[in-house]
Structure 1
Amino acid sequence: MSNLSAVSSQSLAVANPWAMVPPLGNLDAYISAANRLPLLSQEEERNFARRLRDEGDLQAAGALILSHLRLVISISRQYLGYGLPHGDLIQEGNIGLMKAVRRFDPDQGVRLVSYAIHWIKAEIHEYILKNWRMVKVATTKAQRKLFFNLRSLKQGFKAEAVDADTHRETLNSEEIGLVAEHLNVKREEVVEMETRLSGGDVMLDPTPSDGDDEAFGPIAYLADATQEPTAQLESRQRDRLSTDGIATALETLDPRSRRIVEERWLKVNDDGSGGMTLHELAADYGVSAERIRQIESAAMKKMKKALAEYA
């Protein structure tokens, strides 16, 4: 076991592991402490998960949760643009993390980080859905007062409009001034609130209708998928394979096979065109184009095997 692994086992499996993290009220201190907590190795994670599953060991559960608090913080940052406190988003994400730890099966062959992402995001999404209406319509005390009074005042104006045999859905300039004066707010605030109220609600998570199993709503793009830890890991893995991995795979080929692959797939001329064609390579080596194709196919299979071993 490495030194880091030894530290993580000793630090996270103490009698009261929660004492290592300050209360969430001090957000900066909480984030700083969570980011300093050691990560668990795969073997340690599996052992803690089995202790929780088989023995109900709450210290093991605490170790799993603490080592993934930084994941919750990372995911919660993706939702800061929705007007909700960062601390509340972290709290909801922590609930999702605890649900994931409770349901995690260490014998499935996946890491807890991959499994927990779904539960963390699900809890944060649910929290946003419950608070979306209030966030978009009334975020301050003055706005809430305007929200609750504007509707009743508009009903009075509509009744007067009916008596005058006119039909209007929006307030005119005079009525806006009366509302602003009555509620002691600015005219611009009345206009903004009326616009919000008349805009209607948007269902973030639409329920699929009959025959439509692919209903799509804004919930699908609440977060930037490219910033998810798994997506970033996959991106780094692809970059690594496309550089060092390709170079390593090319070293397994003989000179002729390597040149054919480079000419056919890796070479780009100044004018944007590719390398040599099968017929050009065939003429260069004094063989048929079919023979060049066979050599290329065998080389690609060999490279594919080398890339799989490299990954």
Structure 2
Amino acid sequence: MNWDWIALITVIVLVVIFDYTNGFHDAANAIASAVSTRALSLRGALGLAAVMNLIGALAGTGVAVTVAKGIIDTPHSSHGMEVVGAALVGAILWNLTTWYFGLPSSSSHALIGGMVGAALASATTVHWSGVLVKVVIPMIVSPLVGMTLGYFVMIGLMWAFHRANPHRAGRLLRRAQIASASSLALGHGLQDAQKSMGVIVLALVVTGHQDDYHVPFWVILLCATALAAGTWSGGLRIMRTLGRRIFHLTPAHGFAAEVSASSVLYLTAFVFAAPVSTTHVMTSSVMGVGATQRRKAVRWSVAGDIAIGWVLTFPGAASIAAVTFGLLSLL
């Protein structure tokens, strides 16, 4: 077996590990509110999220192509596979670190940050226009849109149910949360599995196993399965942060946040093919929903801690990837 095959298999294994950590790291995004409002049991919610992640991952490849060819110019680098491998290590280690501390950081931006950090360390060309248009701008805009949508959807629900029996409305909205949580989990699969598909496609191009950036079906199925398996394993630390520590959610709040977040995920995936963060969008939607109550209802100190995690994700993963590339280059 030659070096290219060994490197390719290593990258594929790392992608599977990344997808698995992505699944248990981000599972909370889709199910935290449904579990905290008792619309679903924990295991029922995890099973639902895993299935919908799998279906979502099979639903498109636009984001995968963006990641494969729009961020760094690895095919023309003399260290292509080392760059890809270092990027994955940076993203995985950052995911594990933020999971340990219970911070809802972005697996998406950890991966992109890892790619950029490894590219800079290896003097590989970074497509800064692609990073700006497809990553930085959506990173800033998507949480703002999620927060705004969450606020207005919640206002609409409050108006629609202001004369309803509270217990009856609560039962109805708990049932509606099953649909909204499913929609959010599908959006998570649509977004997050595609990013790792793009990394495998990039590795296939670098090693000469394919000439273009189409995504083979086996790659789609592999990434979808790994993400679903990780989701099934759960992420209780982050779930507590999203479901309880930011804002005490009711079924109406959970439904509004999930509908808002999933709408942003579908729009960015299908219309703009931009890799946005499920974590950022869902967390900001929860904040927007909470903002319809009194100002002190939202624990802004927790939101501030999360924002720090967001800011540190890109440079943190990039730094780990750069160090990893340096170590790989010594081998």
User: Larger relative CO (CA 8 A, sep 6+): 1 or 2?
Assistant: 2
More helix by share: 2
Per the TM superposition, whether the score is higher than 0.5 is no
Give me the TM-score of the superposition, normalised by structure 2.
0.28
